[in-house]
């Protein structure tokens, strides 16, 4: 890479970094939403300036290890934080995971609160274990948006979109619910939502006209979408999120069988069957390092 290219890459990285910042927060409450889901509410003065763009806004959540009072992150390193964090011993450096902002509120006294919904799967991963035990005062750090229109928002239907297809499992349900709350009244939504237990089904709110299909038990998203009667694909925008293999199959179906333009499909694999949280995080870290970002 030439000196000019390196300078351009550094400038581009700095421009992206300006959209995000580190925000210290603490747990102010939590409540179970069902057998699989728990909502943790974060607050504190350190969240001032956090600017969620709504919809499927994602952020990085840093958690402490058992016995630590707060997550360990070399924030003082600026743009070099990731390399320094990566160099720390795994038993010391903060646990990092990606989550969706379920809701952001401005309180009367000016403080900010965030709701984050976690899909629980026992003690198989540090984030699930932490969320199930979260108590007021527990300290975390977020790497999240400092501007509302940021690249961590994926749901961006083209102008004039009037029909939306949502397909999500329990890990993507918070994002799907937030998308529904964001949509305007002149949109019709076909939502296919997969949760492990009937008690995980939630009441959804939206100004849009929503046809919600809740799937539980042996029902699966791919079969449900394949069997569905959908409107003209030329005017449909699809958002697919959840288990990576299912998401890929849904996308292939919509493109190959339904004739939907791939540019009108936003998709994201939140997890992968057969892979642990640590497996996926290791892969993501390796990809990050290989990209040179």
Give the pLDDT confidence score for residue 278 in this predicted structure: 55
Write the secondary structure of 268-280 as one string of H (helix), E (strand) and C (coil).
EEEECCCCCHHHH
pLDDT in tens, the chain (293 residues): 444 434 333 434 455 678 999 999 999 999 999 999 999 999 999 999 999 999 999 999 999 999 999 999 999 999 999 999 999 999 999 999 999 999 999 999 999 999 999 999 877 789 999 999 999 999 999 999 999 999 999 999 999 899 999 999 999 999 999 999 999 999 999 999 999 999 999 999 999 999 999 999 788 999 999 999 998 888 899 999 999 999 999 999 999 999 999 999 999 999 876 555 555 556 656 655 554 44
Predicted local distance difference test score (pLDDT) of residue 38: 97
SS3 250: helix
- Cα separation, 121 vs 114, in Å, equals 22
What b/e readout covers 161-199, taking b as 16+ CB neighbours within 10 angstroms?
bebbbbbbbbbbbbbbbbbbebbeeebebbbbbbbbeee
Q: What is the pTM of this model?
A: 0.89
Cα dihedral: 8, 13, 17, 18 (round 10): 10
User: For residue 218, what pLDDT is reported?
Assistant: 80
Q: How would you classify residue 217: left for phi > 0, otherwise alpha for psi between -120 and 50, otherwise beta?
A: left
**219: helix, coil or strand?**
coil
* Burial class of 22 by CB neighbour count within 10 A (0 to 12, 13 to 18, 19+): middle
Query: Which CATH number applies to 14-150: 3.40.50.150, 2.40.30.10, 2.40.10.10, 3.40.50.300?
Result: 2.40.30.10
123 contacts: CB under 8 Å, gap ≥ 6? 129
| The pLDDT of residue 293 | 44
Domain boundaries, the chain: 14-150, 163-271
Contact present, 209 and 236 (Cβ < 8 Å):
no
Same fold, 14-150 and 163-271: no
> Domain 163-271 belongs to what topology?
Rossmann fold (3.40.50)
Question: What is the Cα Rg of the chain in Å?
Answer: 20
DSSP calls for 24-56? EEEEEEEEE-SSSEEEEEEESGGGTT----STT
The answer to whether the beta carbons of residues 238 and 264 sit under 8 Å apart is: yes
Q: Checking DSSP bridges between strand 58-63 and strand 95-100, what pairing results, if any?
A: antiparallel
Distance CA 212, CA 184 (A): 16
Is the separation of the CB atoms in 228 and 190 below 8 Å?
A: yes
């Amino acid at each position: 890479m030439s000196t000019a290219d390196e300078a351009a890459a550094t400038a581009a990285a700095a421009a992206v970094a300006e959209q995000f910042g580190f925000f210290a927060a603490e747990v102010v409450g939590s409540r179970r939403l069902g057998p699989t889901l728990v909502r943790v509410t974060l607050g504190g003065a350190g969240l001032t300036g956090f600017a969620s763009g709504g919809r499927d806004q994602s952020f990085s959540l840093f958690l402490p290890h058992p016995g630590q009072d707060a997550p360990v992150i070399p924030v003082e390193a600026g743009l070099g934080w990731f390399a320094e964090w990566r160099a720390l011993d795994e038993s010391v450096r903060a646990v990092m995971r990606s989550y969706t902002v379920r809701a952001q509120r401005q309180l009367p006294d000016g403080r900010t609160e965030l709701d984050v919904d976690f899909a629980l799967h026992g003690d198989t991963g540090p984030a699930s274990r932490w969320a199930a035990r979260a108590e007021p005062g527990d300290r975390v750090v977020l790497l999240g948006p400092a501007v509302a229109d940021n690249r961590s928002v994926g749901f961006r239907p083209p102008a004039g979109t009037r029909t939306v297809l949502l397909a999500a499992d329990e890990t993507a349900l918070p994002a799907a619910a937030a998308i529904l709350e964001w949509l305007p009244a002149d949109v019709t939504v076909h939502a296919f939502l997969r949760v492990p237990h009937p008690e995980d089904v939630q009441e959804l709110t939206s100004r849009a006209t929503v046809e919600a299909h809740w799937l539980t038990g042996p029902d699966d998203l791919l079969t449900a979408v394949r069997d569905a009667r959908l409107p003209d694909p030329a005017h449909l925008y699809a958002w697919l999120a959840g288990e990576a293999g299912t998401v890929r199959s849904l996308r292939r179906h919509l493109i190959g069988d339904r004739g939907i333009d791939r540019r009108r499909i936003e998709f994201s694999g939140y997890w992968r069957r057969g892979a642990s949280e640590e497996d996926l995080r290791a892969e993501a870290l390796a990809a990050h390092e290989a990209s040179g970002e």
